[in-house]
Structure 1
Amino acid sequence: MPSRSRPEWLGPETDDITPAVSTSSHAFQAILDDLVRTLDAPVGPPAAAAGALSADDAHSLTAPASSPSAPPSADDTALAGPPPARLQGRGDLTIVVGLGGDAREAARILAEGADAAVHPVADRRAALAARAEGVRRGCAIVAPVELDAVDAVAALAADLASIAPDQVWVAVDVSRRLDDTRRWVGEVDAVLAVDGIAATGARRTAGPHGLAALARPVLWLDAPPA
């Protein structure tokens, strides 16, 4: 399974939310320097994150029937263990890969639970810009990565790998075909080791959800199966 190392400029991992750093700090300057080298162009003052979760967005997002922090079922944790804690450090980057709107919905809910901002990313450039925005604002970033088809991962593999996220979730609607889900989730895991499954849709199917077969921790974003 691929491993990810934490960027040196972020310092050691911590569970605490560290106050926002000044734009004159060494950490922030290191990110901007990396952006300049990557983009080969001067970088101006960071703009507001594209797609950041606004107060209106948060208000309009209907609370799920069950809190995202609700414990998963015993069947889900038997093999994979509990879901990972959501990252809250400034500049921490979590990506959520899913089919279409599944990724956006899951990213919003995960971000709300971590006081993080939502900022879509597609490649290394966007990831560096998102991290810089997180450092500037003193928060973590949750980035949706939308797949337009179950076989889309192969074409995106290089860009996905270049993002080098700190945590990876897959957004899974369990009412979709399990064979399709196992296919694209397995392809994502081969490129970026998947840390957890953000699951929805248990009420939209009468069949078994089959998430245990994916052997990853599960966090239900809506009502879990009975």
Structure 2
Amino acid sequence: MPRRLLLAGDTLEAILDQARREHGPDVRIVSAERIITGGIKGLFGRQHYEAVVEVASSPTLRVTDHPVRFPAARRAGIAALLDDADGADRLEPSRTEDVEMSTGGDGFAAMLDELIAETALPEPARGPRGDGPSTAPGDLVALVGLGDDAVAVAHAMHARLGLLTGAAGQARDVDAPRVVDRRSATEARARGVHAGTSTAVAVGLTADLADGLRTLDDLAPEQVWVVVDAARKHADTAAWVDGLRGVVHVHAMVVVGRALTRTPETVQLLGLPEGWEAG
């Protein structure tokens, strides 16, 4: 049975950091209250937070520790491309202005030979996989958000890190190719390998997660991030984020809309690390 502890700190983030250091990563804030002490009628007082944190009483099994919906998430991006290309009868990838390639003929066969050689390299040589989004050639980074929330984030990752971009589900981006099924995911991986980087796919959800989960199942991304709008009701955001986390491991979150709310700190109640500054 999980245990609940009352912790205090200057910020909710500080409370979460303390809880993770002392009790491991599988903790979450279940309630929080802002406390003001001293001052005159609430003015000029000292502010801090008290939060109830739920801690697992024993090590819990993470989603990625047993078979999940996205088997390709355990494979390196290049290896996934090789597997998919080998198993496909015939692929006709979409054309883009920046990258043009065909999966038929000697050119594609030569590229696969190069990829086979690259898969023998140690992991660090294939691209960084730190706290930020993966930039490993051929990886897919799924940025999951409501509607078009993730589109601007994908473009920011393109501008700052050079990631390619794609769009899926309810996300609409006229400047990015659609990545909506197994074949288009393979094409996106191939473009990433050719360009030497990963692809940030903006996946747009509705309140009903079913279509979004089917899309993710086809994409089989190496990383899943959530893009959350701090200006939306926290209960609504927590509902779809918790539903997604029940199916797949979420690497981190990106927070947008902070300037549109007076309580941007509520997103920290989701218990996810913030791996990218939306700017």
Query: TM (normalized to structure 2)?
Result: 0.53
Equivalent pairs counted in the alignment come to: 168
The CA deviation at 1:208 is 4.3
When residues 9 and 173 of structure 1 are mapped into structure 2, their CA distance, relative to the original with a 3 A threshold, is: closer
Q: Is 1:145 the equivalent of 2:203?
A: yes
Deviation at 1:157, TM superposition (A): 2.1
Within the candidate set 95, 116, 132, 1:47 is matched to 95
Counterpart mapping for 1:116-127 below 5 A: 116-120=163-167, 121-127=179-185
How far does residue 87 in structure 1 lie from its aligned partner after superposition?
A: 1.1
How much does 1:196 deviate? 0.8
Q: What pairs with 1:5-154 in structure 2 (closer than 5 Å)?
A: 5-7=73-75, 10=78, 30-34=83-87, 36-37=88-89, 42-44=90-92, 47-48=95-96, 84-120=131-167, 121-147=179-205, 149-150=206-207, 152-154=208-210
Task: List runs of 5+ in structure 2 lacking aligned partners.
Answer: 1-61, 65-70, 99-129, 168-178
**2:133 corresponds to which letter in structure 1?**
R
Residues 43 and 184 (structure 1), Cα distance of their counterparts in 2 relative to 1, 3 Å cut? same
Find the residue that maps to 1:221 and give its secondary structure: coil
- Confirm or deny that 1:176 pairs with 2:232: yes
User: What are the superposed Cα offsets for residues 35-86 of structure 1, whole Å, 9 maximum, x if unpaired?
Assistant: x24xxxx224662289xxxxxxxxxxxxxxxxxxxxxxxxxxxxxxxx8222
Kindly tell me: are residues 129 and 112 of structure 1, through their superposed partners in 2, closer, same or farther at Cα, counting changes over 3 Å? Answer: same
Q: Distance in 2 between the 1:192 and 1:203 partners? A: 30
Work out which of the residue numbers 219, 222, 232 in structure 2 matches 1:166.
222
Distance 2:157 2:235 in 1: 25
Q: Contact conserved, 1:119 with 1:141, CA < 8 A, in 2? A: yes
Q: Is the 8 A contact 2:77 2:189 kept in 1?
A: no
Q: Quick check: 1:88–1:139 contact (8 Å CA) kept in 2? A: yes
Question: Could you tell me how far apart the structure 1 residues matched to 2:248 and 2:204 are?
Answer: 15
- Root mean square deviation of aligned Cα: 2.6
- What secondary structure sits across from 2:144 in the alignment? strand
Against the structure 1 CA distance between its residues 173 and 140, is the aligned structure 2 distance closer, same or farther, given a 3 Å change threshold? same
Tell me if structure 2 keeps the 8 A contact 1:160–1:192.
no
Q: Give the match's secondary structure for 1:172.
A: strand
The equivalent residue for 1:221 is 278
- Taking structure 1 as the reference length, the TM-score comes to 0.65
- Partner Cα distance (1:49, 1:92) in 2: 21
1:7 counterpart letter in structure 2 = R
Q: CA deviation at 1:207?
A: 2.3
CA deviation profile, 1:107-161 (whole Å, cap 9, x unmatched): 11123332110022233332222112211222211101011x32x2134323323
Separation in 2 of the partners of 1:205 and 1:211? 11
Kindly state the Cα deviation for residue 103 of structure 1 after the two structures are TM-superposed. Answer: 1.1
Selected match of 1:203 from 250, 259, 275: 259
Moved over 4 A (4+): 27-31
The structure with more radius of gyration: 2
Structure 2 distance, partners of 1:132, 1:102, is 26
Identical aligned pairs, as a percentage? 29
User: Could you tell me how far apart the structure 2 residues matched to 1:29 and 1:49 are?
Assistant: 24
| Pair 1:2-2:50 in alignment | no
Contact 2:149 2:227 in 1 (8 A): yes
